[in-house]
Amino acid sequence: MFGSLWRRWQDSREAAAVRRRAIPDDLWKRTLVRFPFLRWRSADDQLELRRLTSLFLDRKEFSAAGDLHLSNAIVVSIAAQAVLPVLKLGLARYDGFVGIVVHPDQVVARRNVQGDDGLVHEYDETLAGEAVQGGPVMLSWRDVREAGRPGALGYNVVVHEFAHVLDLADGLSDGVPLLPARLSRAAWLGVLEPQFDAFVKRVEADEETALDPYGASGIDEFFAVASESFFVDPHGLAAEHDALYALLERFYSQDPRAFAPAIR
Ligand SMILES: [Zn+2]
């Protein structure tokens, strides 16, 4: 059968790529120590994460900006976190871009917007990361590195930007990634929109939230921020947004709560 031949050819190509980009044991162990939400995972998940990390390194092109020197620790830290959202969806979800630009620290971007008065206003935006249609994905190494710290509970710049990559797959940054057949756009928005509206009200009322208040700035940011929390603080997300947690569980085909320690 042509299909099974093609499958076998693809499997052997992948196996060769994994050998080519094999991650040394000590570096992989250090990566797991650095990022607890990877360390929690089952032995099976960790094996698959390690395999996908090698494939990711094989398919993507990293470059450094400023005075940053790219090391194996940096590229493996980024790749291992980036593949977490596609653990069950497959790496092909990231085929729409190749480049990843790593900056030593946050980047100030000059923005222009036309205001209600018709005039163009300039302002500076400080970015820890950015994903645009077709790539490249930009990340601040300082923010990537700090994602494993106890104070960073619920925050994760790599998951955030790669959730945007999933959202952008259809060309629109609208909080709706490419959905599986069993999950309709209407069903997706039927959960996401009311959760987003309620979240905006809570943020406007200055309430404490498990999710980063930045998620109130747009439904695309809400999806990215909820995805961060889903993977790194799943109990926190589920406690405040159980319907949203269940939705993300269906989309990502994962239940990170099953692995995360219950005590926050
Ligand atoms: Zn964002």
Domain residue spans of the chain: 2-258
Distance (angstroms) between ligand 1 centre and the Cα of 137 equals 11
pLDDT, residue 154, reads: 79
Distance 45 CA to ligand 1 centre (A): 27
The answer to whether the CB of 66 falls within 8 A of the CB of 104 is yes
Q: What is the pLDDT along the chain (264 residues), one digit of tens a residue?
A: 567 888 888 888 999 999 999 999 999 999 999 999 999 999 999 999 999 999 999 999 999 999 999 999 999 999 999 999 999 999 999 999 999 999 999 999 888 888 888 889 898 888 999 998 888 999 999 999 988 776 667 789 999 999 999 999 999 999 999 999 999 999 999 999 999 999 999 999 999 999 999 999 999 999 999 999 999 999 999 999 999 999 999 999 999 999 998 765
- What is the model's pLDDT at position 2? 67
**What per-residue confidence (pLDDT) applies to 67?**
93
| The pair of three-digit structure tokens given for residue 212, joined into one six-digit string | 């980063």
Architecture in CATH for domain 2-258: 3-Layer(aba) Sandwich (3.40)
161 Cα: distance to centroid of ligand 1 (angstroms) = 6
Q: Starting at the earlier edge strand, list the strands of the sheet with 99-103.
A: 61-64, 99-103, 137-140, 129-131
Cβ atoms of 77 and 145 within 8 Å: the answer is yes
How far apart are the CA of 183 and the centre of ligand 1, in A? 23
Facing residues of 111 across strands? 123
The pLDDT score that the predictor gives to residue 264 is 53
Angle at 180 between CA 218 and CA 212, to 5 degrees: 25
Contact 210, 229 (CB under 8 A): yes
Distance 164 CA to ligand 1 centre (A): 7
221 C-alpha to center of ligand 1: Å?
Answer: 5
Q: How far does the centroid of ligand 1 lie from the alpha carbon of residue 254, in Å?
A: 22
**Which residues touch 238 (CB under 8 Å, ≥6 apart)?**
245, 257
Q: What's the confidence (pLDDT) of residue 7?
A: 86
Tokens of 237: 């997300």
C-alpha of residue 67 to centroid of ligand 1, in Å: 25
DSSP strands (E only) in 133-232? 137-140
Partnered with residue 82 across adjacent β-strands are none
Collapsing DSSP to helix, strand or coil, 69 comes out as coil
Q: Ligand 1: distance of its center to the CA of 135 in Å?
A: 14
What per-residue string of b and e applies to 132-141 under the rule 16 or more CB within 10 Å gives b?
eeebbbbbbb
Q: How far is the CA of 133 from the centre of ligand 1 (A)?
A: 13
What pLDDT is attached to residue 116?
85
Beta bridge partners of 124: 110
From CA 212, how far away is CA 165, in angstroms rounded?
A: 19
Look up the pTM and report it.
0.93
- Residue 221 gets the label, from left (phi > 0), alpha (psi -120 to 50) or beta, of alpha
| DSSP codes joined into one string, 119-146 | -EEEEEEEESEEE-TT--EEEEHHHHHH
How close is the Cα of 12 to the center of ligand 1, in Å?
36
Classified as helix, coil or strand, 85 is coil
- The Cα–Cα gap between 154 and 132 comes to 23
Render pLDDT for 84-118 as a digit per residue (tens, 0 to 9): 999 999 999 999 999 999 999 999 988 888 888 88
